[in-house]
Structure 1
Amino acid sequence: MGLSCRKKTTSTASQVAPASQKTYSATKPARIAILGASGYTGEECVRLLAQHPAFNVTVLTGESQAGKAFSDVFPHLVTATDVPNLIKVGDVDWDNVDAAFCCLPHATTQEILASLPTHIRVVDLSADFRLRDVSTYAEWYGGEHKAPELQKEAVYGLTEVYRNDIRSARLVANPGCYPTSVQLPLYPLLEAGLILTDDIIVDSKSGVSGAGRSAKQAFLYTEVAEGINSYGVSKHRHMPEIEQGLSDAAGSEVRISFTPHLMPMSRGMQSTCYVKMANNVTIDDLRQHLVNRYKDETFVHVLPEGQIPHTRHVRGSNYNLIAVFADRIPGRAIVISVIDNLVKGASGQAIQNLNVMLGVPEETGLMQQALFP
């Protein structure tokens, strides 16, 4: 299996960008292109960037929707911001773009990004650059990687772990939603040797928006309402991505048992992780280590003993809530992690990464609180 795109160097959110980097602000905003803006993650980028003072959306692409006003495709954003009409990727004038969010489907990104001018900083929200080993990519995504040289310079974008590398990257591979929800709680515990690398079981549940916006029978209302179903059992594409990150943390190969489930809700994600504690480690040790690791992070919060996180507590926000419980089986722990799959699991983390890349305060444009009820 391949490990992470680049070995991590941890850092805190307070660190600043290199002095040589361009400075972007409300008076000199970065010009942003969103490729694949007609999908859910592209739409979320536009929604969140409507309140970003240092980023100005100047290009939106959507191959099948080219020529349309963005508000015709997403009427709920008619008053959100002044954005251009959708165009085709081939019609983009890259001389007038500083950075891009690539929200295209898997396997469609590689050749496009390989052809971009080198001044463009890119956060790719597809899976195309998440796996270091291109043969692992071919195995799980059903086709050879078309930009292996570009893959070598990609930095994995789990912001709270790889921040130092992200800062100087030209291309950041934004993590998948399931991998984000699993790695944020388990990475520090494996790195510290507080949990064992064997017998890690992850039970994850996601809202239907994680499947994208394309019309598919399996995701019609009558197919998903009033029920729950497992999918990708023992072979979900996010498994190697999760394992490469956890292997980096542990310093040795980690294999997990992972099963995702589709829930009858629009957005939200919960990963319940069952782990073995190392000898003489207690539940309080696990919780306190996570508290210490994330105490200076804006978007990751470890809940006090006994509090249970709910997906509705993070809906529409860039936050990750984590809780740790003792299993009734001695020596085991239950770690629960919730995120909004479209925000911290996709577009919110992408903006967080681009903020880091362009030297903008990391929290900019992302301080929306959860929407409830």
Structure 2
Amino acid sequence: MNIIKKVLLLTTLFTLFAESTPTQKEIANIMNLAGKQRMLTQKMSKEALLIAKDINSKKNREELKRTITLFDTTLYALLDGDKTLKLPKTEDKKIRKRIKEVDNLWREFKPFINKIKEGKVNRNALKAIEMGNIPLLTGMNSIVKMYEKKYESALKKNRVKVINLAGRERMLSQKMTKELLLLANHLESHIYINSLKKGGFFFKDTLFKLMQDKKAMSNPHTKEEIQEIQKLWEEYQYHIVNTELSKDGLLVFNKKENNFIKEMTSKLISVATKLDKERYQNELKKSAKEFETILIGLIKGDSRLKVIKSKNKNIQKELSKVKDYWKEYKKIIINIDISNKGLNRAMQLNIPILELMDKTVKLYEKTAK
């Protein structure tokens, strides 16, 4: 009996060891493709917004189709393995669980991105993409970090970290362009809209949330607008209390109520949309700062990022090219240039940056083997 138990134990241990030890080549590929998924969440969102702006619609619909297919294929390949992509099956239970959670997000997101791919551009699909792309990105980023933690000791020193950071630059190049396009598309804020559609009973909570927004209330103009909405709400409450409960009285109140709700809804959405615009602008500048920090860190080395300067001449050459493109691209991003000229130039610059960073990741991948 003891011998049988020992044999079973050894067999189990051998199986676990075999399953949990991908080769260095496979680990580098896992880090590259998992990191690439982050970029694809932003690339497909960018392409959807380009189609909505009617910028090279036919070309971007074709590109969006390829992006969706690649994201879909890679997501399931990370989970179950894929010989074509040279990915082993993920055996780690925690990582598998997280991939399945991201798959759930993807299943919710995919129908809306497919509508844009098919040329069925509508505001609901665009709002769903705006609201859904960041949770999808965050989910993929958490998977990359889980892989990084699992395999950081398996590759040459700092190589997992560097592949992750270089891969993150691909994502940021697309995220910045997406954020420019969100500003250019003038999407009406989704904040509170569902509550507002339900009628006057939800205005108090909606208004309270806005009044609790410290950032919003720190802006004198926004604060004044919110206070105006508060006055409208108080006036609305006064009319509720003082309405005659006769047929004529209720008819008069019903007309006033519709006017109050219409005006309050309009003002609340206007304030929320301005707050969204500020949020997009701040997020855009934050993305630009992160992109530049990582780029300089990869070129020169950065102890805070835990990155050592690469001595590989080919890597330095590609990073130098990215830096040259970044000089012009940065001006568009920092100035939030959403003119047609600015957007078209941003489109021309972000793809070479993406391609160069993809090439750089592959070079880092080779040095990790």
Regarding TM over 0.5, the answer is no
Higher helix share: 2
Higher strand share: 1
TM superposition score normalised by structure 2: 0.25
TM superposition score normalised by structure 1: 0.25
